[in-house]
Amino acid sequence: MPCPEPASPHGVPPFTVTCKSQVVAGKMVYTLSVTHSANGASWETRWSFSELVAADAQLRNSIPKLPPFPFRGLPSFKLLMGPRRAQRSDAALQSYLTTALDIKEIADHPGFQAILGMKQPDSVTRVRILHWLPLSESLPGTATVELEVIPPVADKMFGPAEEIRAEIPVLKGAAFPPSSAALGETVRIEGLPCGEELSLEVCAANSAGASEAVSVRLAVPGKRTRILGPGVRVRARWAGDGNMYDATVKKVTEDGSVFVSWLRPAPLSNEDLHCVCEAGGDDTAYRLVSRAMVMPLEVGPEE
């Protein structure tokens, strides 16, 4: 049988945990003191004996490698035991947690991290454009930007950030997946269409979830090579809810606004469309969209 994969390539678990029990209002309560190994953030979380048993039982449906849970089914006995037996109980729970954290599949599992009190992080502190790479280093018609992102500080309300994610909502999809970087690294975003003004959303994330996004406007340098004309596929902002949906250009008005036809679901197509009507909207409304809120998805005639 192969050995379980360690929680870290360097053998350091992502968390260190110490536990201590005490009787509170006639119930055995365990305090877990948790430290995040990557950035030193620390917090405490408290569980009753029955809550730990229930959490462990639920996790076993998705994590078969969980080590055996100690002293299962003996909560009433724990209330009667002396200090020495209580210390043994703490040591048994400590061993269970330490063993689990040494296995990557367990240590990275959101359910197990919930036992440790892991929470999603707060929003990033700051986003700054470091520089745009020379256009010659990017694909024709696109540009590449590198960002400096200052992560949030973990506190009692929010958990520690583990990575930074950035995406352009209007370009979101298989052809333009979100960019990500470890804390302390620059975030590099490639394939941005030259000459467009785009909204960039940046968030902090960990295994418990992602923070609220911070929005940054990007004016992509270079000459626009994708222009709008009848029939060009776009994503455009529907004024009904402010989200971006797939459409085609009907015409461009004299003032530069774009009259679009919102695309409808195509059940027999393999194409993944984000359609107004699927979100409960009226695809015959709000068809005149400002140019800044329209992003071409295919190459039109050169401008």
- List the chain domain ranges: 15-115, 126-219, 233-296
Residue with tokens 């360097």: 10
> From CA 112, how far away is CA 17, in angstroms rounded?
13
pLDDT of residue 11: 56
Q: Is the pLDDT of residue 299 over 60?
A: no
> From CA 229, how far away is CA 115, in angstroms rounded?
55
Q: Is the pLDDT of residue 75 over 60?
A: no
State the average pLDDT over residues 105-130: 93
Confidence of residue 270 (pLDDT cuts 50, 70, 90): confident
Output DSSP code: residue 242: S
Report which of 170, 230, 164, 241 is spatially closest to residue 203, judged by C-alpha positions.
164
More confident residue, 92 or 24: 92
Q: Which of 123-127, 255-259, 268-272, 292-296 has the lowest mean pLDDT?
A: 268-272
Quote the pTM value. 0.67
> From CA 96, how far away is CA 6, in angstroms rounded?
15
More confident residue, 87 or 285: 285
> From CA 177, how far away is CA 171, in angstroms rounded?
8
Q: Is the pLDDT of residue 261 over 60?
A: yes
Q: In the chain, pLDDT over 70 holds for what percent of residues?
A: 85
State the average pLDDT over residues 134-157: 85
More confident residue, 78 or 192: 192
Residues 6+ apart with CB under 8 A from 116: 15, 17, 32, 34, 45
Top CATH class of 126-219 equals: mainly beta
The tokens describing 40, both together, are 């030193």
- Homologous superfamily (CATH) of 15-115 is Phox-like domain (3.30.1520.10)
- For residue 134, give Cα distances in angstroms to 224, 242, 264: 16, 33, 39
Q: Is the pLDDT of residue 271 over 80?
A: no
SS3 assignment, position 181: strand
Confidence of residue 85 (pLDDT cuts 50, 70, 90): low
State the average pLDDT over residues 47-76: 81
- How many residues comprise the chain? 303
pLDDT tens by residue, 169-195: 877 655 567 899 998 899 999 888 888
> From CA 33, how far away is CA 97, in angstroms rounded?
12
**Backbone φ and ψ of 198, nearest 5°:** -125, 155
Q: Is the pLDDT of residue 303 over 70?
A: no
Q: Could you tell me if residue 280 is left (phi over 0), alpha (psi between -120 and 50 degrees) or otherwise beta?
A: left
